[in-house]
Chain A
Amino acid sequence: MKQFTLSKPLLRGVLFPGVALAVLGLAPVAWGGLQSQTVFCQKNADGSGLCYGNFIGFREDATSTSSASFRDDLAGTRSFDARTTPPGGTSPVLYTCIPNAAVSALWEQALSSRGFFRVSWDASGTCDYLRLVNSSQNTNF
């Protein structure tokens, strides 16, 4: 009966490349570039709150009901809404707001945004802050 033993050449030629590749993973990513998928929404008892993230984050969220939308129509009705399930929660929660004049000035860009966004609103449901970031890690909107 033949006994199995790992010879030194086998160790060098076989195991070393595998271990080296695994270690490479610990080094900063250089070939793929940073990509992010972010989803976050929260609201307070008075209804004020915020959402931030990117569309790919909402679309590929572990919860299949998650979504985020910037809307506009012919009547000029602009609104933001997002749906996420809070950590530990069992049902999705809806968040929505209507932009004030300052935020509305950015709405056209929000409608065609492919990157990171952050929206916050006050207790009256008015979106009072909007931040849009166009960056390489959000390209797969």
Chain B
Amino acid sequence: MTTQVLRGWLPSLTTSVGCAVGCWLAVSQAQQSQTQRMEQLTDEVGSLRQALESSSRATGASPVGTATLLAPRESRLSVEDQEAMALRVATLLKESGGPVVGSSAPEAPVPTAPEPSSEQREAVVRAGTMVDRVVSSGRMTAEDVLEIRRELVHLRGRPEADALRKQLVVAINQDRLIPAPGFDGLP
């Protein structure tokens, strides 16, 4: 009797358990391989940056970036990864004033913004006061964001607006300003 019951239920039971274990192993394996690949890529970029900073120090140039550096490690990268890293190195070299092979055409002068109107000057003062207030308080509510945004609308495309936003961004990234939960973007 017991054996008959087992013959009836055990096949489906063990097949189900087998399937579940198999699926779990497959998913774990895929996630692990992806994580390892990401770590490899981070290591490679870190080591390239480290090499670049060493080079910059040797030539007296200012260091580029301050991201945490990781120990270099050998790895095989795809062509796509190598191209991305080559592009990144070129950008870093350019920013650090180092030699860059390629176009040597002089950059076009940056157009200067026209003088702000009196209305815009007032908006800059009001928005600046609000930004200073939220930065010094360390908190930024959704209402604060809307208020600052209302003022910045008058400064569309102006450098003053960018500077005020950057003030908020730097304070947030340095953990000196904590937006309220439900943060819906910068002003």
Contact = CB atoms under 8 A, between A and B. Distances in A.
Interface of A: 2, 4, 7, 10, 13-15, 17-26, 28-29, 32, 34-38, 40, 42-50, 52, 65, 69, 71, 75-77, 79, 81, 83, 93-98, 102, 120-126, 128-129, 131, 133, 137
Contact of A94 (B6, B26, B161, B172): B172
25 contacts: A2-B3, A14-B11, A18-B14, A18-B18, A19-B18, A21-B19, A22-B17, A25-B21, A25-B23, A26-B25, A26-B29, A36-B34, A38-B35, A47-B170, A47-B173, A50-B67, A76-B156, A77-B186, A93-B175, A96-B169, A96-B186, A124-B166, A125-B169, A125-B172, A128-B95
A69 B21 CA distance: 36
Interface of B: 1-3, 6-7, 10-11, 14-15, 17-19, 21-26, 29-31, 33-35, 38, 65-68, 80, 84, 88, 91, 95, 152-153, 156-157, 161-162, 165-166, 169-170, 172-175, 178-179, 181, 183, 185-187
Contacts of B19: 21
A80 B33 CA distance: 28
Contacts, number: 147
Contacts of A49: 67, 173
B67 A21 contact: no
Given A18-B14, A25-B24, A96-B173, A48 B67 contact: yes
Contact of B2 (A4, A14, A37, A93): A4
Contacts of B178: 94
B44 to A, nearest CB: 13
A21 B15 contact: yes
The 10 residue pairs across chains A and B that have the minimum distance between CB atoms = A125-B169, A25-B22, A47-B173, A25-B25, A18-B14, A21-B18, A18-B18, A36-B34, A22-B21, A47-B174
